[in-house]
Structure 1
Amino acid sequence: MADTRKANPPTRRTTPRRRKNDASEGVTIDQALKDDMQLNLVTPSGQPVLASSGRQLEVPARIVEQNLGSRKPESTPQDQAAAVMATLLSDLGLSLEDATSLADHVRAHMKRSTSSRTAPVSQSDLDYLRDHAGLSDPSTLDDWRPEAEDKLRAEIAVANAAQFILDTLSRDEAAHLLNRDRTVVSRRVSNGQLLAVQRDGRPRFPSWQFYKGEALPGMSEIIGALTSAEMDTVSLGNFMTLPNDELDGLSPVDYLVGGGDPEVIAALLDAVARS
């Protein structure tokens, strides 16, 4: 029998030989490139990609690296929205953990706001406003559009919601500030010693009522006066933190921190309610 080894010499191996301990699983691209490895192709679910012959497909690591380097991940609308939200939170000085609260507050505000498209302004209404509203430039009504009106309302909702979060604390934040348990904070609210504002089923605590890790002196009297004053959170916050002529230019917060009589503040709140 003829020796076939000379007639059919072995072909030269063109694929780099793997080392015995070089498996394509559990290695980094850098290591695979260094060893010039062949990587097994698998689906995102981990199933092997097979050729028509049934053999698992392989690709040189350098080709994988080149492909990864040249591809740019597609940005979905959700990705873009998340990036916008992250930028907004950063600009407002809020953390990513505040995103849910911000969205909830905006949603609640928008539910209370009537859409211009669901309650449109008729042409006769616009004509009446142009003639009787006392506008310095009645022509501004000519440029009014319900879509622009709703966009403005949404912007106001976002601004109000962000300001509300900035000016209030969650129950966990209040507990951390007071160095107390959450149940203690809830008990103080029930006893009229801390003010909590319910928003979307969760309590928020106006930050002006805290001073140096404690509740502001006189909070019981202030909370008692609020039952008749019926002030919204923003108005109350402005009242408590802005200078007051009746207090020689001090804000109610500064007045109480300095040892002032809480009944004086309660009387001022009662006067605001009567005005």
Structure 2
Amino acid sequence: MTVALETVLARAGLKVTADEFLSLVEDAANRLTPPQKDPAARFTESERAALTEVGLDLAPYDDGEEDPRARTVAEQAVLWDTALSVAQAADRVGVDTSRIRHRVAARRLIGWKGRGGWRLPAWQFTDNDVLPGLETVLTALPGDQPALVVANFMTTPQEDLAIGDRPVSPREWLMAGGNARRVADLASTIGTPA
């Protein structure tokens, strides 16, 4: 399995050994809630009724069913592995490391503190700078959103952002010179009911 995993990691451009990646996966899985075969068990009778009424399926998982945490764990591991350290971000942007820390503190960059120090998601950088319009977007973004939610939003095509007739991700939109205010308006709705 190690050779197959190393092949997949290399094709995906992830600079991590199979053992390191598996350690990231284990860490991500441990941070999530434990598997729950019966989702309804977490709720009171009235909560179950309300959730079922709006269409949520609270039926117990079958043994053959995929664990819904698996994709999140994999995405979290990739997000962590591709994130930049403060020093890497400073080198990329051409500033001192203290300037990067200041930007994180001022919410002009996002990051999280983990083993080994601060990590900053790579999607918010270009080859030699910060993503154009990022500060406008981050200002509008609800502050309670996890890094993985923000990363998925910024890297997933959105119907409201199109280049030609092709929906693009907010990151791609900003890289192409699109209006940051449009992305900020979309970002401001993350975590709110549809």
TM-score by length of 2: 0.63
Assess if the C-alpha contact under 8 Å between 1:92 and 1:162 holds in 2.
no
1:54-81 CA deviation, whole Å, 9 max, x = no partner? xxxxxxxxxxxxxxxxxxxxxxxxxxxx
Give the alignment of 1:148-187 within 5 angstroms: 159-187=74-102
Larger Rg: 1
Inter-partner Cα distance in structure 2 for 1:101 and 1:200: 14
Distance 2:175 2:133 in 1: 9
Structure of higher RCO (CA pairs closer than 8 Å, 6+ residues apart): 2
RMSD, aligned α-carbons: 3.8
Q: For residues 241 and 153 of structure 1, do their structure 2 counterparts lie closer, same or farther at Cα, with a shift above 3 Å needed? A: closer
Contact 1:89 1:95 in 2 (8 A): no
CA gap 1:179/1:238 in 2 versus in 1, 3 angstroms: same
In structure 1, the gaps of 5 or more residues are 1-82, 122-132
Find the partner of 1:241 among 148, 155, 169: 155
Please tell me whether residue 217 in structure 1 is matched to residue 137 in structure 2. Answer: no
CA contact (8 A) 1:110 1:154 kept: no
Displacement after TM superposition at 1:115 (Å)? 5.4
Q: Using a 3 Å threshold, how does the CA distance of structure 1 residues 177 and 105 change in structure 2: closer, same or farther?
A: farther
Matched residue of 2:189: which SS? helix
Alignment-derived partner of residue 232 in structure 1: 146
Classify 1:176/1:162 alpha carbon distance in 2 versus 1 (closer, same or farther; 3 Å): same
Classify 1:220/1:197 alpha carbon distance in 2 versus 1 (closer, same or farther; 3 Å): same
Q: What is the TM-score normalised by the length of structure 1?
A: 0.48
Segments of 5+ residues of structure 2 without an aligned counterpart are: 39-56
Aligned to 1:61: none
- Is the partner of 2:141 in helix, strand or coil? helix
Cα distance in 2 for partners of 1:155, 1:250 equals 26
Q: Is 2:107 the counterpart of 1:192?
A: yes
What letter matches 2:32 in structure 1? Answer: R
Q: Give how far 1:224 is off.
A: 1.6
> 1:115 and 1:244, CA in 2 relative to 1: closer, same or farther beyond 3 A?
closer
Aligned pair count reads 168
Of 58, 82, 91 in structure 1, the residue corresponding to residue 8 of structure 2 is 91
Structure 1 residue aligned with 2:42: none
The 1-side partners of 2:147 and 2:31 are apart by 18
Counterpart amino acid of 2:105? S
CA shift in 2, pair 1:99/1:178, >3 Å? farther
